[in-house]
Structure 1
Amino acid sequence: MSDYKVYLVHMGKAKCAVDLGDGSERGEYVDQDYILHKLGRPHRSISLMYCYYPLDKEFPGRISEVMKDADVKFQWDYPYDDYFTYKGGLEGNRDDEPFTCMRDIRRHGQDVTLTLTADPNISDEQIKAIAEDLKTFGRVFLRVNHENTGNWFSFTKRTTYQGVADFYCKFVKIVHEVAPNVQMVLCTGGIEDPNSEEIMMEKEFAQSVKDTDIWSVDKYMALHWGWPFDVALRDQKVKSYKRDRVEDTYNMTKRSYERFKVINGGVSKPMVMSEFNADGDVTGAYDQTVMVRGFCDMLKEDPEQWFSGFTFYQFRDRGRLGLEIEDPNNQNVGIEQPVMKTYRELIHDDFFKPEMKRGGEVSFPVKLRWGNSEDADGLEIPIHFYGDPHFCELTFEDESNLMIEINGKWFYKSPKAKVIDLMSAFYENRLEGAKDLTLRIFAPPASGENDLNAEDGMFNSYQTIEKLPKIRIEYEPVAL
């Protein structure tokens, strides 16, 4: 590799970021190696969904397991929300979930979005403990008590809507003081009425709009909320599902952003959609793909570019809200849906890919910085391919933790891995002749956590690369 020129490269923001939900009340967590191989690139962030009701006698048991014999007719009829339970905080430790998943996510060059439904009666000390839990995980998006104008989650049944709003503002204040690496995501109702100019419960949540770091709405262009307790049928007497027009969903979301901006005195903040999909229970598998693509096409065609990113909900689902459906015989097996191919095509569009800017030439050793998935400094090596390769692999002599990209496909190298076979980058994107490609290497933290002893350790991690790996490229089989 000594004959190759090596440059610094900066990874920045995409025009529109793509995040992915991984696990919820409807499906289990899927490890990041599997997702990376299926989709071919990392996401800006991976969204995890947990609940925190430490004042309840059943906690920290998952409520649907603790009360498995209860006569429940709706997903949210349990005493608290049926998410995985947050094992950290004042009462817990950081050796269990969600921290095991968070480390996996960050090792693979992605940020964490933690959705946390929480009892609004917990103490300030319990909130501070959660903030302390998150200090080593770099940039974290924390979404507390989402869909807060609804009536299904337990936190809305334990106080008034003003109480929900006040609790959110208190949470923001404490997190900003204790863990400034954490960005707070307000997920509220937005504008739901085409004839209204105000967001839902605007009076109650106006201060939340001002205090938060990021604005968000959840928008399902189609949704069967009766799942899994009934089946969505065309002739259902009392419908437990809906289907909206793609254009209406897009316009309502944009109007919500514009109203948030008015409430905030004309000052803009990032606007995201923290849960986005069209439910295959309602649309079927084929219209689901049409609606997802239609929304993304509207984003690309809008010259205002007001939207920061969306989270596709979710990777694997027991219902029909996933890129895969969970095999009913084995929760560790996913059945790919048609929307997987559509989604994979979308996220490899330049509009949704992070920006790469080449810097100056470097020599070794070189110290790489990982800030977050939209702010990292890596290496870029131009390579001339004389044709379509039959072998292309990297051999390492160190225990580095790396994310590697070539020909549009990303690979993960763990500290224990020595050889990374890059050939799958060419199987579906074969070279038709000679071509110049770029090999890129980034270094997210090997442990998944930052070192707070470093001067800027809450926001950055560093890894020194002593030399480049050996690269092997062959243009024909070993034996003919």
Structure 2
Amino acid sequence: MQKAYKITMGKAACAVDLGDGSERGEYVNQDYILSRLGRPHRSVSLMYCYYPLDKEWPARISEYYKDKKIAFQWDYPYDDYFPYLGGLNGNRDGEPFASMRDIRRHGQDVTLTLTIDPFVSDEHLAAIGEDLKRFGRLFLRINHEATGNWFQFNRRANYQQVADFYCRAVKIIKKHAPNVQTILCIGGVEDINSEKMVYEEEFAQAVRDTDIWSVDKYMALHWGWPLDVAESGGTTHNRNSVREVFELTKKSYERFKYINGGDSKPMVMSELNADGNVTGPYEQADMIRLFCNIVEEEKADWLSGFCFYQFRDRGRLGLEREDPNNSNVGIEQPVMQTYREIINRKRFLPSMILGSEIGLPVKLTWRSSEDAEGIAVLLYFEAPPVFCELYFEDDSNLMLEFNGRWFYKSPTTKYLDLMPAFYEHNINGGCELAIKIFAPPASGENDLTTEDGLFSYSYIIEKLPEIRIRTAPIELDKDKEKGNI
């Protein structure tokens, strides 16, 4: 009988999130992403828009006007994100809810980036809150990059109206969904020689009303994509120094804090990358590595996390580039290997605290990807394994970490092969490893009828899986026995 111990998963010193789908690429399922990266993220970012007062709604605007010639990506009547199909008179059967459930089943929180018509009624905002209250801790980024001039909400309203709308939306949505944590994303300090943020006076109250502060910073960006090609002397791209991007982000945090009366709040970078259209694939990877090196070396505790934008991209802002022959296929970029290495550094990994021995049955509790109670089962290996397998008899929905690699078990899965945990990190004999097991919600939603169901989900494990370990092939090599090799 294997012994089980309580284990608690907590925050990383700097969390890592991942963008998955936008105007530049389709959503990629979490099973595939987990297989490519080997670990889940704190949160996965989805990008949607909500313009229910427009005559074209709820069409995706670029598809509605597929024959319309435009000069800029955002020259449509409303933002070219996937339509948010919930809200007033909406439904929760389609998107983004199917993707949100997929994300949460795989032990991650959702960051929902939502551009909203600033003239929707309070009833629309209340309906969004009702949509979101069943998804546990959820990060909601409303009208991001709000001090810019490209999104339709900025073209329909002045900056004070956009800021006032943010405060109104925060108040109403959180009244209906207290589990939601709001992210204010504005330009921050954009000049290294300035102390003030752009449109600081207009957004001062929003800085105080939000839960989390954020800026989007690209070390290189081709904003003319996909309508032109970045070439030397062009005017639709730029490149900044990595150090300057870091310093501008830090100055933005310090200014947020000043506006908030000296009190701190979590600071994140909701979009971070270097555009390969500008840098090429190798320097893109180098710039991401250098930025994360600075975060580590300077122990930037003021930075709570960053979101890499994005997993798969039709341009060159992805860990994969979409295959032009088949949108379901991704072509790995050099930054993928760099990113895998970064997200397995200690600073970017969630904390794990091993507790006392516990008996079965045991209740596992999932509050968020930064607050979960699981069990750890210790395994002793006399030699490197050839087979390492788990067999289940229940319908549990589990995330398991083993030897640095994570695995997902769906409710219908009865068998897991753990050998991929050894392919990159093999072991010597005579060592002990722990299987860490957590239980995020199987449906992707919390049960609101249970006690504290708004904030947590629980599952009772009655029995540990059967563990099969073999340290030699089942049949010995006949050629080796005969001395032929």
- Equivalence map 1:79-118=2 (5 Å): 79-118=77-116
Partner of 2:359: 363
Cα deviation 1:168-225 (Å, max 9, x = unaligned): 0001111221111000000001000122111110010000000000000000000000
Q: Distance in 2 between matches of 1:249 and 1:240?
A: 19
1:324 aligned to 315, 320, 323, which one?
320
* SS, match of residue 114 in structure 1: strand
Partner of 1:17: 15
- Equivalence map 1:419-430=2 (5 Å): 419-430=415-426
2:5 aligned to 7, 13, 16, which one?
7
Q: Distance in 1 between matches of 2:207 and 2:357?
A: 44
Q: Distance in 2 between matches of 1:314 and 1:388?
A: 36
Is structure 2 residue 403 aligned with structure 1 residue 415? no
Q: Aligned partner of 1:53: which letter? A: Y
Partner of 1:208: 206
* SS, match of residue 280 in structure 2: helix
Partner of 2:153: 155
- Equivalence map 1:211-250=2 (5 Å): 211-236=209-234, 239-250=235-246
Cα deviation 1:345-387 (Å, max 9, x = unaligned): 0001111000001122111111110000000000011211112
2:272 aligned to 260, 270, 276, which one?
276
Kept in 1: contact 2:192–2:247 (CA 8 A) = no
Q: Aligned partner of 1:254: which letter? A: K
Q: Distance in 1 between matches of 2:104 and 2:51?
A: 26
Partner of 1:398: 394
Partner of 2:482: none
Number of aligned pairs?
476
Q: Unaligned stretches of 5+ in structure 1? A: none
Q: Aligned partner of 1:247: which letter? A: R
Is structure 2 residue 40 aligned with structure 1 residue 42? yes
Q: Distance in 2 between matches of 1:138 and 1:439?
A: 25
Q: Distance in 1 between matches of 2:194 and 2:333?
A: 37
Q: Aligned partner of 2:76: which letter? A: Y
Q: Give the drift of 1:91.
A: 2.1
Partner of 2:480: none
Q: Distance in 2 between matches of 1:304 and 1:233?
A: 35
Q: Distance in 1 between matches of 2:175 and 2:98?
A: 25
Q: Distance in 1 between matches of 2:209 and 2:197?
A: 16
Partner of 1:342: 338
Kept in 1: contact 2:4–2:377 (CA 8 A) = yes
Q: Distance in 1 between matches of 2:222 and 2:428?
A: 46
* SS, match of residue 146 in structure 1: coil
Normalising by structure 1, what TM-score? 0.98
Q: Aligned partner of 2:466: which letter? A: K
* SS, match of residue 255 in structure 1: helix
Q: Distance in 2 between matches of 1:335 and 1:434?
A: 39
Cα deviation 1:282-317 (Å, max 9, x = unaligned): 000000011001110111112351100000000000
Cα deviation 1:313-350 (Å, max 9, x = unaligned): 00000000000000001000000000000000000111
Q: Distance in 2 between matches of 1:380 and 1:143?
A: 35
- Equivalence map 1:377-388=2 (5 Å): 377-388=373-384
Cα deviation 1:372-411 (Å, max 9, x = unaligned): 0000000011211112110001000000000011000000
- Equivalence map 1:125-164=2 (5 Å): 125-164=123-162
2:461 aligned to 449, 465, 470, which one?
465
Partner of 2:53: 55
- Equivalence map 1:233-312=2 (5 Å): 233-236=231-234, 239-312=235-308
Q: Distance in 1 between matches of 2:138 and 2:227?
A: 34
Kept in 1: contact 2:375–2:437 (CA 8 A) = yes
Partner of 2:72: 74
Q: Give the drift of 1:434.
A: 2.5
2:193 aligned to 192, 195, 206, which one?
195
Normalising by structure 2, what TM-score? 0.97
Q: Distance in 2 between matches of 1:233 and 1:388?
A: 52
Partner of 1:180: 178
Q: Aligned partner of 1:277: which letter? A: N
Q: Unaligned stretches of 5+ in structure 2? A: 477-485
Q: Distance in 1 between matches of 2:368 and 2:10?
A: 9
Sequence identity of aligned pairs in percent? Answer: 66
Kept in 1: contact 2:387–2:419 (CA 8 A) = yes
2:443 aligned to 426, 440, 447, which one?
447
Q: Aligned partner of 1:293: which letter? A: R
Q: Aligned partner of 1:208: which letter? A: A
* SS, match of residue 132 in structure 1: helix
Q: Aligned partner of 1:264: which letter? A: N
Q: Aligned partner of 1:117: which letter? A: T
Cα deviation 1:88-146 (Å, max 9, x = unaligned): 00121000000000000000000000000000000000000001000000000000000
Q: Distance in 2 between matches of 1:17 and 1:303?
A: 13
